[in-house]
Amino acid sequence: MPEKTYRDALKDGLREEMIRDERVFIMGEDVGLNWGGAFKVTKGLADEFGEARVRDTPISENTIAGTAVGAAITGMIPVAEIMFGDLITLAMDQVCNQAAKMRYMFGGQTSVPLVLRTVFGGGKNIASHHSQSLESWFMHTPGLKIAVPAFAYDVKGLIKTAIRDPNPVLFLEHKLVYDKKEDVPDEDYTVPFGQAKVRREGEDVTVWGTFFMLHKALEVADELAKDGISVEVIDPRTLAPLDKKTLIESVKKTGRLVLVTEETKTGATTAEIAATVQEEAFDWLDAPIKRVNAPDTPVPFSPPLEGYFIPDNKRIAQAIREIV
């Protein structure tokens, strides 16, 4: 099985789906010929599929999202891109009021098979308008499915599931994960929505996290193993639907839970997970659920500031040590 970057695995997934189903097309700012996406995910696809199916758009986020909605309900399967997750602020009406609610408010008359890709996260010193992690807004939006792939194998399988799903899927990526490598089959395969993956088994404490923080959590788990602390690490893979079962089973085993994401703390996805787990596994918890998040500030620019902002291995390890 060839080793591939997350970026290439994602591109493979897009490519294979475009070959499989001619209704699938890509649209977004600079996704096409001259650039291939700000993070080069779609590079080369315009050459292969033409500029109509890998379509550059004006800088019109709300209309990009709305165009995807209109195309989706009339027989196409758009994969639209918002260049940076911070800019989805401009498309919230089309994403949250239209795409997410349309099937419901029309009583099931239509469905909205679109994928909206965007990228979250810091670590690139590009400051407050290009580094946020806003996934919790969408977890709080009924009608959206949300994929949060953090590994190359998953990203290919999940983009295929997203494209084949008849509902609007928000497909979230992370800037620091594009270069991560993993063995990725060349064949067609899908990764199901709503199934978390236990990335490492452990006995003493469960760690649940997303994106780059998942990679850090795995490093921390390795470190702590040396001290005899056995950490189980869970990757949700999708936030909606959310696999509570895998998580709760793990917590029932370990009795302890640490949640790690790069979001600012108040109102993060970690709040929802903590609330749910204490609701459903109260009697199994031996310690308070810990949340490791960024502080409640915008994302700062300067390296020492951004370094402080983003949770690091030390903070993750410390949170774990506090409750085991």
Give, for 211, the enclosing helix (H) or strand (E). Answer: helix 211-226
Q: Which entry of other proteins, ligand TPP, a second copy, none binds 269, CB below 5 to 8 A by partner kind?
A: a second copy
Q: Which entry of other proteins, a second copy, ligand TPP, none binds 274, CB below 5 to 8 A by partner kind?
A: a second copy
For residue 132 the two structure tokens come to 């946020």
Task: Tell me the closest approach of the beta carbon of residue 266 to other proteins, in angstroms.
Answer: 12
Q: Which entry of a second copy, ligand TPP, other proteins, none binds 41, CB below 5 to 8 A by partner kind?
A: none
Q: Which entry of a second copy, ligand TPP, other proteins, none binds 92, CB below 5 to 8 A by partner kind?
A: a second copy
Nearer to other proteins, 125 or 318 (CB): 125
Nearer to ligand TPP, 106 or 192 (CB): 106
CA nearest neighbour of 233 among 255, 252, 257 = 257
**Alpha-helical segments (H) within 94-207:** 102-105, 135-139, 152-164
Q: What is the DSSP letter of 299?
A: P
Contact of 158 with 114, CB cutoff 8 Å: no
Task: Tell me the closest approach of the beta carbon of residue 294 to a second copy, in angstroms.
Answer: 9
Task: Tell me the closest approach of the beta carbon of residue 82 to ligand TPP, in angstroms.
Answer: 8
Report the DSSP pairing between strands 231-235 and 205-209: parallel
Nearer to other proteins, 14 or 162 (CB): 162
For the chain, report the end-to-end CA distance as a whole number of angstroms.
38
What phi and psi, each to the nearest 5 degrees, are found at residue 268?
Answer: -75, 170
Tokens 């949250």 appear where?
96
Q: Give the CA diameter of the chain.
A: 58
Residues 6+ apart with CB under 8 A from 248: 277, 280, 281
Alpha-carbon gap, residue 175 to 155, rounded angstroms: 13
Residues that bind a second copy (CB under 8 A): 62, 86-87, 89-90, 92-93, 96-97, 100-101, 104-105, 127-129, 134, 136-137, 139-140, 142-143, 240, 242, 263-264, 266-272, 274-276, 278-280, 282, 285, 287-291, 295-298, 300-301
What Rg value do the Cα atoms of the chain yield, rounded?
A: 19
Is 130 one of the catalytic residues?
A: yes
Task: Tell me the closest approach of the beta carbon of residue 152 to a second copy, in angstroms.
Answer: 28
Cα 239-243-248 angle, rounded to 5 deg: 125
Tokens 């903070």 appear where?
315
Of 130, 140, 174, 215, which one is the catalytic site residue? 130
Nearer to a second copy, 190 or 276 (CB): 276
Task: Tell me the closest approach of the beta carbon of residue 319 to a second copy, in angstroms.
Answer: 11
Q: Which entry of a second copy, ligand TPP, other proteins, none binds 235, CB below 5 to 8 A by partner kind?
A: none
Residues that bind ligand TPP (CB under 6 A): 29, 59, 61, 83, 87, 90
Nearer to other proteins, 53 or 252 (CB): 53
Which positions are annotated as active-site residues?
A: 130
